[in-house]
Amino acid sequence: MNYQHILESIYDEIRPFEKEGKQADYIPALAKVNPDQFGICLTTIGGTSYKLGSAETRFSIQSISKVFSLAYALGILGDDIWRRVGKEPSGTAFNSLVQLEFEHGIPRNPFINAGALVVADILLEHLDNPEDDYLRFVREISGNPTIDYNIEVATSERESGYLNAAIANLLKYHKNINGDIEKVLGFYFKMCSVEMTCCDLSHAFLAFANHRKPFSFSSVNLTASQVKRINAIMQTCGFYDEAGEFSFLVGLPGKSGVGGGISAICPLRYSVTVWSPRLNKKGNSIMGIKALELLTTKTKESIF
């Protein structure tokens, strides 16, 4: 498969969409990002990478971080994690309060904001140095020891994060946050602020693409069965209330972030990350989704 040629042809085809949408300007620090950037990196199970555009430019991974935090928490609690967070698609916006109130403080899944806040609380409860431990895990799984938090982004999100604060308080009311709300919010925003490149993320997601290889990083150890279940949640819940559309168009498990990144896997074949800051109304990268739709169409490689 000539992946490099395919990536180049994809970029030519999606260029008409390069001015559609806008970056996540409700987060002040992200509003400063140049929206007219595009990068993609595909890494095969064999370790060969193919890249195009701004694939080596760091960006805030935002909700893609929730895959890493889920993996960490699942490694700690095992199936007990599902007592506090569900496994179902939300069907509502990623920051919905209505659904959380209706379902008595149990978030639908770990990838909406409410679910990720619960996961952050779990990590704070069980790790001695959660910020250091989480960052060590991300650095190891990506193979890049220079990855770090972006404090400006984390601070910007906290200063404008009124809705997330409301979600955290509602979770606390329903006794589904055990720790201090400010500490949970601060850790959550820091995890979202991590900056990585398409190549970093593509390498990191190989661990989820190749479930036949032991998943063992720092203190995070998962069975092949647990890795496959994370992939299943990515398939059904990775794109908020656009998960069905992404599954229909692309046919790969994946996770998006409002920083404009999308990471996806084709099990036992490759992992791929695409980045373009302009988002649609659901909070997903317009050019990113178009690129991945064309990728699975041209390669005829998907889970279906």
Decide if 63 is catalytic: yes
Q: Which of 85, 258, 272, 274 is catalytic?
A: 258
The per-residue pLDDT for 92 is: 81
- Give the pLDDT band (50/70/90) at residue 202: very high
Task: Reply yes or no on whether the pLDDT at 26 is more than 90.
Answer: no
Decide if 285 is catalytic: no
- Give the pLDDT band (50/70/90) at residue 94: confident
The per-residue pLDDT for 93 is: 81
For residue 224, give both structure tokens. 């092949």
Tell whether the torsion through CA atoms of 75, 78, 83 and 87 is positive or negative. positive
Decide if 26 is catalytic: no
**pLDDT tens digits for range 143-161:** 999 999 999 999 999 998 8
3-state DSSP: the chain helix, strand, coil percent, rounded to 5?
A: 50, 15, 35
Decide if 33 is catalytic: no
For residues 156 and 153, give the distance between their C-alpha atoms in angstroms, rounded to a whole number.
Answer: 5
Q: Which of 3, 11, 51, 66 is catalytic?
A: 66
> CA dihedral in degrees (188, 78, 81, 182; nearest 10)?
-30
Q: Which of 63, 69, 247, 271 is catalytic?
A: 63
Q: Which of 134, 240, 256, 285 is catalytic?
A: 240
Phi, psi of 40 (to 5 degrees): -150, 140
Provide the mean pLDDT of the chain. 96
- Give the pLDDT band (50/70/90) at residue 219: confident
Decide if 162 is catalytic: no
The per-residue pLDDT for 214 is: 92
The per-residue pLDDT for 25 is: 86
Q: Which of 85, 188, 193, 276 is catalytic?
A: 188
- Give the pLDDT band (50/70/90) at residue 27: confident
pTM: 0.96
Q: Please give the domain boundaries of the chain with CATH numbers for all domains.
A: 3-298 (3.40.710.10)
Q: Identify the burial level of 148 via C-beta atoms within 10 angstroms of its C-beta, where 0-12 means exposed, 13-18 middle and 19 or more buried.
A: middle
